[in-house]
Amino acid sequence: MKQYRKVCISFLLSACLLTAGQSAQAAAQLTLPESISLAIKNNPAMQIAEANIEKARWGLKEAKAYDGVKLDYNLLYGRSDQAPSWYPNVDGSGLPAWSDTYTFYDHQLTLQVPLYTGNKLESTANMARRGKTVMDLGRTVTKQELTLDVTNTYYNVLQAQSLVGVAQEAVNDFNVHLTNVKHQYDVGNVALSDVLQTEVRLANARNNLIKAQNAAKMARYKLNTVIGINLTDDTQLDDSVTREPYTATLEDSLAEAFQHRPEMQQASLQIDIAKDKIKIARSDAKPVVSAVAVENISDTSPSSSKGKDDWTVGVNVALNMFDNGVTKAKTKEAHADLTIATEQKRQLEDAITLEVSNAYLNVKEAAERIQNNQVAVNQSQRDYAMAQERYFAGIGTNLDVMDAEVAMTQAKTNYVVAVYDYVNSRAQLSKAMGML
């Protein structure tokens, strides 16, 4: 009975340790969303995008601040051998007052409120507001590009690891076959050339395995670099891959792209910004009207009863009568910016059309390759088994077996590549449509 209890306790402890180990392994697993989050947090591109938004936000505050109350203070303190203009020039006797030097000061407080600027301040604020939106959209573009980069890099690691598995299977197959061929040679059923040929094929398979393992390491190094973690971190990746069929048409995909791509919204805003620049340039030919209040306090040092204290309230009107064509040149320059922004939007539309079309065709191609290569894998496995049977029955050659194994390995490789080409192309299509 005691022995039975010991066995039960030992079994329970082992089960607990196994469960804990599996839980720890699951906890250490790095998923694709987690990788994207790490990249967004650690990648300098996102930090630059955030800094651009902060810069644009303060630029908008600056533009708004110009359309408000402005208060200036000016102090003049100095010495002169000439009496201030406001100082009396005669003394009590009626004779000219004179002194070797005069020490005086002048305080001036000016309050100014813009009333009309020819739409300059309003256009400047609108331009800054649109610039802030452009920066917000730029962050979205950066995030989508980074998400696509992480997604493709993540799937490239999984593909490289799967190809290592295919290469390892080829090595295992040739090992088993070499053992069988040696046994047949020992009993005199096959020639020595069969053993030598198999050993050469095994060496080639091992060479391919070494290359595949190195490629997997490099793919993982690239992923770690993109997401900003330790280069040699080998945390297990979540290898679940969804391959939902894509049923939308190319026309529908293009419509989604033109609706959701942040770059399209940026291009439209750049056109509006160019129009704001035209308004700002034209405003220089219009009058500027401001309400002004000025307070002046002047006196000598030391203070005397001869000081001056006056104030002025009024409206200031300024009009640029002639600037030698500067306003006209600025206006023409702004019109050129509008033409550039309009044509750049057209270029962007063409580029998006090409990008979406390319990604769409790649998705369809990869989907067809998956189906085709799945059939090829099944057929190659059957052919390999038949070639082995014929060889050991004495009606086939060793070369037939090895060629069948190579064809099976190629079919498996093609299948793995097609699967990850599909998921990568789906990610690229989502990015091209502005929906990643």
92-102: pLDDT as tens digits: 444 445 556 77
376 shares a domain with 294: no
54 shares a domain with 85: no
- Maximum Cα–Cα distance for the chain, whole Å? 148
241 shares a domain with 109: no
Predicted local confidence at residue 91, as pLDDT:
52
220 shares a domain with 102: no
159 shares a domain with 96: no
Task: Indicate whether 5 pLDDT > 80.
Answer: no
**Contact criterion met (CB below 8 Å) for 363 and 427:** no
351 shares a domain with 258: yes
In a domain, 15, yes or no: no
Predicted local confidence at residue 88, as pLDDT:
60
117-165: pLDDT as tens digits: 999 999 999 999 999 999 999 999 999 999 999 999 999 999 999 999 9
269 shares a domain with 373: yes
**Contact criterion met (CB below 8 Å) for 105 and 76:** yes
In a domain, 9, yes or no: no
In a domain, 6, yes or no: no
354 shares a domain with 207: yes
**Contact criterion met (CB below 8 Å) for 171 and 207:** no
249 shares a domain with 181: yes
Predicted local confidence at residue 28, as pLDDT:
64
195 shares a domain with 86: no
Q: Percentage of the chain surpassing pLDDT 70? A: 88
214 shares a domain with 349: yes
Q: Pick the last residue of a domain from 319, 337, 371.
A: 319
Residue 210 to residue 164: CA distance in whole angstroms:
9
Residue type for position 173: D
Containing domain of residue 101, as a range?
70-116+287-319
- Averaged pLDDT score across all residues of the chain: 88
> Domain count of the chain?
2
